[in-house]
């Protein structure tokens, strides 16, 4: 659904974390499909998807089944967050103040910001490697800078430009990856393409978890890209366009990585395997992936900047920054990430995956609390003015019920964790499969619902939340 504002919306986004009023709403629900489909056909999900056969030693069939199960399950949570955007009209992280309080939300916002920066730095490394693979006279460090600058320009221009690029990218990358699949299946270079690896429960569960966590990692910023849609857009429409785009795009990229690795000799780097497996069209595929990673990485920069602005605005509550402020902070983040990425170790991507697994342990309970609060407690009705007040307005500085559920949600995951920092006893018993995210969701969701309904100020917040509909 479009509004008259769609044709007159400025290319350079003027809003940052502030509420988007009805007169500035624009766009169509189908843009969410192209955003999350095109954005997920990129080198990082391809590299991640290959781990099912490289690291967890699954064969092709069981690897594909695990990838599909993980994305289809994790995508539900991701899409439920997306459906919040049109109703709230504010970024996801600042909305967390309604669940945790103005100060209680700071930890989650900080963690999300660190994760975005990690994603951004990892993607510019992949951009540098992809550019070097296409034009070998371009050193990887130079490619890193070029990739970062390209993503920076897109991120600074903002919301509308990101959607435009992904509408184009969906067609180009969608056709490209189908052609790539076709080439690989007709030019398989190994005799054990279908027989390499086998089913093992721990590896299958680990691959399911990896795919599900890929979707959950989008949760802290997915509604940032739906918040400009008209407020009367159906929740179901927002959910399904996001869900189908993200689950389909991510699954294709993950499976492409697994197929490319199995079609080439054992031990090859994933992107080298992609280049070899796609033969004569390999350079074209790398160009497409390079453009994709630059475009998609703008989302990570955009999310990191909004998180940083949210942190600052918590204490400088009268400050609602402009596009200029967002541009300055974007440049600072970009320069810092370039410096870190150029000087990073060769195993930077591996270290990044390890970091994400650690951060998701603390983001999973947030996902559960946010969704339960939005859909079951407040039913989408919040007091937007309170969210921007330094004392949290009707939501206060801290919400003890949310913080208690959050802490317990982290604690119950510990025995099921498998991260570089710690391997829990249950995970060790099932050969390293990480099921912490599933346990965290299953425990935190009913616990928070019970605690919130026991809260004596619950009905006061419910009544106050109705003020949102008048803004």
> 2 and 27 in contact (C-beta within 8 Å)?
yes
What is the Cα–Cα distance from 63 to 49, expressed in whole angstroms?
Answer: 9
Q: Structure tokens of 268?
A: 């090859």
Average pLDDT of span 150-156: 83
pLDDT at 326: 81
Q: Check whether 460 has a pLDDT greater than 70.
A: no
* Confidence label for 459 from pLDDT (cuts 50, 70 and 90): very low
Summarised one tens digit per residue, pLDDT across range 101-114 is 989 888 888 888 88
* Confidence label for 352 from pLDDT (cuts 50, 70 and 90): low
pLDDT at 219: 86
What is the Cα–Cα distance from 135 to 13, expressed in whole angstroms?
Answer: 34
pTM of the predicted protein model? 0.85
Question: What are the residues whose beta carbons fall under 8 Å from the beta carbon of 372, sequence distance 6 or more?
Answer: 445, 448, 449, 452
* Confidence label for 347 from pLDDT (cuts 50, 70 and 90): low
Q: Mean pLDDT in the chain?
A: 84
Summarised one tens digit per residue, pLDDT across range 116-132 is 888 888 888 878 877 88
What is the Cα–Cα distance from 234 to 283, expressed in whole angstroms?
Answer: 42
**Helix (H) or strand (E) segment spanning residue 314:** helix 282-315
Q: Which of 181, 167, 226 is nearest to 27 (CA)?
A: 226
> 305 and 157 in contact (C-beta within 8 Å)?
no
> 417 and 436 in contact (C-beta within 8 Å)?
yes
Average pLDDT of span 224-253: 92
Helices (H), 83-234: 85-88, 92-95, 97-100, 106-134, 140-157, 159-186, 201-216
Q: Check whether 443 has a pLDDT greater than 90.
A: yes
Summarised one tens digit per residue, pLDDT across range 78-102 is 999 999 989 888 888 888 889 999 8
State whether residue 21 is helix, strand or coil: coil
Q: Check whether 1 has a pLDDT greater than 70.
A: no
Percent of all residues in the chain with a pLDDT value above 70, rounded to a whole number: 89
423 forms bridges with which residues in the sheet?
418
> 314 and 103 in contact (C-beta within 8 Å)?
yes
Average pLDDT of span 340-369: 74
pLDDT at 7: 47
**For residues 434, 248, 27 and 76, what is the CA-based torsion angle, rounded to 10 degrees?**
-40
pLDDT at 351: 65
pLDDT at 467: 45
What is the Cα–Cα distance from 245 to 44, expressed in whole angstroms?
Answer: 17
What is the Cα–Cα distance from 370 to 412, expressed in whole angstroms?
Answer: 18
pLDDT at 170: 83
Q: Which of 199, 60, 152 is nearest to 337 (CA)?
A: 152
Q: Check whether 251 has a pLDDT greater than 50.
A: yes
Token look-up 């790539």 returns: 180
Q: Structure tokens of 216?
A: 């959950």
Q: Check whether 37 has a pLDDT greater than 50.
A: yes
Residues present in the chain in total: 471
> 100 and 240 in contact (C-beta within 8 Å)?
no
* Residue 191: count of CB within 10 angstroms of its CB: 8
Q: Which of 389, 240, 260, 386 is nearest to 314 (CA)?
A: 389
* Residue 221: count of CB within 10 angstroms of its CB: 23
Average pLDDT of span 254-267: 92
Q: Check whether 359 has a pLDDT greater than 90.
A: no
> 393 and 387 in contact (C-beta within 8 Å)?
yes
1-15, 165-179, 330-344: the lowest-pLDDT one? 1-15
Average pLDDT of span 47-62: 91
Q: Which of 292, 296, 331, 329 is nearest to 310 (CA)?
A: 329
DSSP 189: -
Q: Check whether 64 has a pLDDT greater than 80.
A: yes
Greatest pairwise CA separation for the chain in angstroms: 67
Average pLDDT of span 370-383: 90
Q: Say which CATH class 13-347 falls into.
A: mainly alpha
Q: What's the helix, strand, coil split of the chain in %, to 5?
A: 75, 0, 25
Q: Check whether 433 has a pLDDT greater than 80.
A: no
Summarised one tens digit per residue, pLDDT across range 270-296 is 888 888 888 888 888 888 888 888 887
């Amino acid at each position: 659904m479009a509004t008259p504002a769609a044709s007159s919306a400025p290319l350079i986004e003027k809003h940052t974390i502030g509420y988007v009023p009805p007169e500035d709403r624009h766009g169509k629900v189908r843009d969410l499909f192209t955003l999350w489909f095109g954005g997920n056909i990129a080198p990082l999900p391809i590299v991640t998807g290959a781990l099912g056969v490289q690291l967890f030693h699954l064969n092709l069939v069981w690897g594909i089944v695990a990838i599909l199960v993980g994305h289809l399950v994790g995508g539900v949570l991701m899409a439920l967050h997306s459906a919040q955007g049109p109703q709230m009209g504010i970024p996801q992280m600042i909305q967390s103040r309604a669940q945790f309080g103005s100060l209680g939300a700071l930890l989650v916002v900080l963690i999300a910001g660190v994760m975005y920066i990690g994603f951004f730095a990892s993607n510019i490394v992949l951009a540098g490697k992809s550019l070097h693979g296409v034009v070998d006279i371009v050193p990887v460090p130079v490619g890193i800078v070029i990739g970062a600058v390209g993503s920076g320009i897109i991120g600074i221009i903002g919301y509308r430009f990101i959607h435009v690029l992904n509408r184009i990218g969906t067609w180009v990358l969608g056709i490209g990856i189908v052609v790539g699949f076709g080439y690989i299946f007709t030019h398989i270079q190994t005799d054990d393409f279908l027989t390499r690896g086998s089913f093992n429960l721990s590896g299958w569960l680990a691959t399911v978890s990896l795919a599900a966590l890929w979707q959950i990692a989008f949760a802290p910023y997915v509604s940032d890209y739906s918040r400009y849609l008209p407020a009367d857009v159906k929740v179901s429409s927002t959910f399904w366009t996001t869900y189908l785009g993200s689950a389909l795009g991510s699954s294709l990229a993950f499976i492409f990585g697994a197929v490319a690795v199995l079609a080439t000799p054992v031990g090859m780097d994933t992107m080298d395997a992609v280049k070899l497996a796609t033969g004569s069209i390999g350079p074209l595929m790398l160009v497409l992936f390079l453009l994709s990673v630059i475009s998609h990485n703008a989302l990570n920069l955009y999310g990191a900047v909004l998180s940083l602005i949210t942190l600052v605005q918590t204490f400088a509550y009268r400050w609602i920054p402009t596009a200029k402020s967002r541009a300055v902070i974007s440049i600072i983040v970009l320069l810092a990430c370039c410096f870190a990425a150029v000087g990073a170790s060769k195993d930077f991507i591996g270290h990044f995956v390890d970091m994400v697994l650690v951060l998701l342990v603390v983001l999973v309970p947030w996902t559960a609390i946010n969704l339960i609060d939005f859909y079951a407690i407040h039913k989408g009705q919040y007091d937007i003015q309170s969210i921007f007040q330094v004392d949290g307005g009707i939501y206060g500085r801290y919400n003890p019920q949310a913080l208690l559920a959050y802490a317990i949600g982290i604690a119950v995951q510990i025995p099921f964790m498998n991260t570089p920092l710690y391997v829990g006893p249950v995970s060790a018993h099932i050969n390293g499969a990480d099921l912490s995210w599933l346990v965290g969701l299953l425990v935190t969701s009913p616990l928070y619902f019970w605690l919130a309904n026991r809260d004596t100020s619950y009905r006061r917040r419910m009544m106050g939340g109705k003020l949102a509909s008048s803004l």
